[in-house]
Structure 1
Amino acid sequence: MDAIVPPCHREAMTTHTFPTGRNPHPDNTERPDAVEVLRYSAFTTDPAGGNPAGVVLDAASLGDARMLALAAEVGYSETAFVTAHDHAARRYRLRYFSPRAEVAFCGHATIATAVALASRTGTGELLFDTPAGEIRVGTGLVDGLVRATLTSVPARSRPAEDTTEVEPALRALRWTRDDLDDALPPHIAFAGNDHLVLGVRIRARLAALDYDFDALHDLMRDRGWTTVHLVHRVSPDRLDFDARDPFPVGGVVEDPATGAAAAAFGGYLRTLGLVSQPLRVHLRQGEDMGRPSDLYVDLHPDDPRARVTGTAVPLPAPAAPAPAPGR
């Protein structure tokens, strides 16, 4: 199925009692049916790059259908909704919707929400209760911009099943096994939701991505994958990667920056035995679709969690449609 959140995950978000209240900040907003929607681009310092996300800071009165409709109206891969808050404790209940379904966890919308909140309430640590679990986000100012670091739930991975996962994915991607990098075996990686990780041998194959949308959508829906995380290692002596993330189950062809997949990729690298000391991984994503993004993943051999760092910058609300000409 699409990355719809099971009811048990929703119940897990109700363990903290949140005081009621409304957020009064109107800047960088649009007001479809009086709902304030902020727009940010995450994992970039340039509004022309990164991954756009919608952020609704006061969604306490919105039902599931309304949040899904708003996410479809905004049209980004995800929109985050703050459904409850405790400003004194800097704790917030957060849900994520793609244009098609609720998603258990979304990294770039988490970064965008953290930057939006820190810009209004001051930098420091924030705590998000999400359907995937508790997510801590540290925020601070760097060169005048708010930078956020999310700490994922414990990340892990397992080898992908050959006949039911790898082969149909390759068919949908129009790839062959010769395209794969033997040093990066196919895995299903998790850090809040599942992602198929495929390492490609030649950068040009990644650049030429042209996949069967419907076939990959159906496979991902059947297997419960949120994205397919396609990576190319820039150099064998560095943990720098180029990445692309098809996201047909979310209703978009590709995600230009995927924090959830980056965190899951950290668990993948640990499973492969590549995390013997504290290290930072750099993922360059969105380059091939004209929205370059930089994601930094910090890993420690004694901690199964991944820390994903990025900035986010505000985007202008779309212009209102011109009034119809009078008669």
Structure 2
Amino acid sequence: MNLGSLFRLSAFTTTLNGGNPAGVWIGDTLPDPETMQRIAAEVGFSETAFVAPASGSDRIVRYYSPEVEVSFCGHATIATGVVLGENDGEGTYQLATSVGIVPVTVHQRDGKYEASLTSVEPSYAPAPHALVIKALSALGWIQDDLDGSIPPARAYAGAWHLVLAVAEQQCLAELNYDFETLKALMLRDSLTTLQLIWRESATVFHSRNPFPIGGIVEDPATGSAAAALGGYLRASELVTVPTTILIRQGEAIGRPSQIVVHIPVRGGIVVTGQAIHI
């Protein structure tokens, strides 16, 4: 039996009361899907990463929420990078995920390990009007709440997210959505989270991320959505590249998180954060 080792960390934070908790399971071979799903449900965090050696790549990784397998998870990848750095040293690890190879570079900063993932090639498409209207209804928002300078989009960097930008921060602060209605809508449209954002300045964004398909009301830090947003902003020429933005997330639910997103001229989006054991 492949027992493996299970670690629990919080990513995109340096304090125990912040960030997004993730499980990181490391063993010689991956368990079968049913076992991975069971372990993820027992851990109870929004995602658990399962990591094992793989031929042709440094590691093979799969991600599970308490209810379903997820194609890619940014915060669990950052947590995985920190564990690999602690166990095997600084350097770049090639992670073979179900959506492609994701390099993760790990180094120490002020005595703590920091990890930077480079996403698969991002893409986006304007969000269909019908999807936007249904999402707004589930969120209790109206069309006039949206920021017209950042049009609604379906954005991808390993997983699909619906990006909705609001004109006023109050909309984010007062978020209270219909869980089952939004879950059903997201399942029909193959969405992993909603990336709900308010742009404070050219380089600072605030985000909230409903994650009902994973059985989670809200993600405190969502690296995959951060990468998808970076790709969307670049492709839509809503930022001048190269640039680096900061996404502040989790503050409204008492788990403040900071996600640093570097948007290069081309290629994958680089998402950086630290993680601590909990």
TM range (shorter): over 0.9
Amino acid at match of 2:269: A
Amino acid at match of 1:260: S
Q: Percent identity over the alignment?
A: 47
- Structure in which a larger fraction of residues adopt strand: 2
1:189 corresponding residue in structure 2: 155
Q: Is the 8 A contact 1:280 1:297 kept in 2?
A: yes
1:248–1:69 distance in 2 versus 1, CA, 3 Å: same
CA distance in 1, matches of 2:223, 2:79: 11
Amino acid at match of 1:83: A
1:76 corresponding residue in structure 2: 45
Amino acid at match of 1:298: H
CA distance in 2, matches of 1:74, 1:284: 25
Q: Is the 8 A contact 2:23 2:45 kept in 1?
A: yes
CA distance in 2, matches of 1:191, 1:90: 20
SS in 2 for 1:225: coil
CA distance in 2, matches of 1:277, 1:54: 34
2:141 corresponding residue in structure 1: 175
CA distance in 2, matches of 1:290, 1:157: 31
> Among residues 115, 122, 133, which one is paired with 1:155 in the alignment?
122
CA distance in 2, matches of 1:112, 1:123: 14
Q: Is the 8 A contact 2:150 2:238 kept in 1?
A: no
1:154–1:61 distance in 2 versus 1, CA, 3 Å: closer
Amino acid at match of 1:39: R
CA distance in 2, matches of 1:262, 1:243: 9
- Bigger Cα Rg: 1
1:304 corresponding residue in structure 2: 267
SS in 2 for 1:283: strand
State whether structure 2 residue 262 is matched by structure 1 residue 295.
no
Q: Is the 8 A contact 2:10 2:276 kept in 1?
A: yes
State whether structure 2 residue 191 is matched by structure 1 residue 228.
no
Q: Is the 8 A contact 2:104 2:116 kept in 1?
A: yes
1:203 corresponding residue in structure 2: 169
Q: Deviations over 1:69-116 (max 9, x none)?
A: 110000000000013346xx8710000000011111000000001100
Q: Is the 8 A contact 2:57 2:96 kept in 1?
A: no
SS in 1 for 2:198: strand
CA distance in 2, matches of 1:285, 1:278: 23
Residue 225 of structure 1: CA displacement? 0.2
Amino acid at match of 2:253: M
CA distance in 2, matches of 1:234, 1:168: 26
Q: Deviations over 1:228-256 (max 9, x none)?
A: 00000013xx2210000000000000000
CA distance in 2, matches of 1:39, 1:90: 24
1:325 corresponding residue in structure 2: none
> Among residues 232, 243, 257, which one is paired with 2:221 in the alignment?
257
Amino acid at match of 1:312: A
1:79–1:114 distance in 2 versus 1, CA, 3 Å: same
- How is 1:1-327 mapped onto 2 (pairs within 5 angstroms)? 34-58=3-27, 60=29, 62-85=31-54, 91-163=58-130, 165-235=131-201, 238-301=202-265, 303-315=266-278
Residue 56 of structure 1: CA displacement? 0.4
Q: Deviations over 1:300-319 (max 9, x none)?
A: 22x1310000000011xxxx
Q: Is the 8 A contact 1:275 1:299 kept in 2?
A: no
Residue 170 of structure 1: CA displacement? 0.4
Q: Is the 8 A contact 2:102 2:119 kept in 1?
A: yes
Q: After the TM superposition, which parts of structure 1 deviate over 2 Å for at least 4 consecutive aligned residues? A: 83-86, 274-277
Q: Is the 8 A contact 2:4 2:26 kept in 1?
A: no
Amino acid at match of 1:142: R
Amino acid at match of 2:273: G
Amino acid at match of 1:122: G
CA distance in 2, matches of 1:276, 1:54: 36
Q: TM-score, normalised by structure 1?
A: 0.82
Q: TM-score, normalised by structure 2?
A: 0.97
Residue 36 of structure 1: CA displacement? 2.7
1:7 corresponding residue in structure 2: none
In structure 1, runs of 5+ residues without a counterpart are 1-21, 23-33, 316-327
SS in 2 for 1:206: helix
Amino acid at match of 1:264: A
Q: Is the 8 A contact 2:61 2:96 kept in 1?
A: yes
Q: Deviations over 1:189-220 (max 9, x none)?
A: 00011000000111011011000000000000
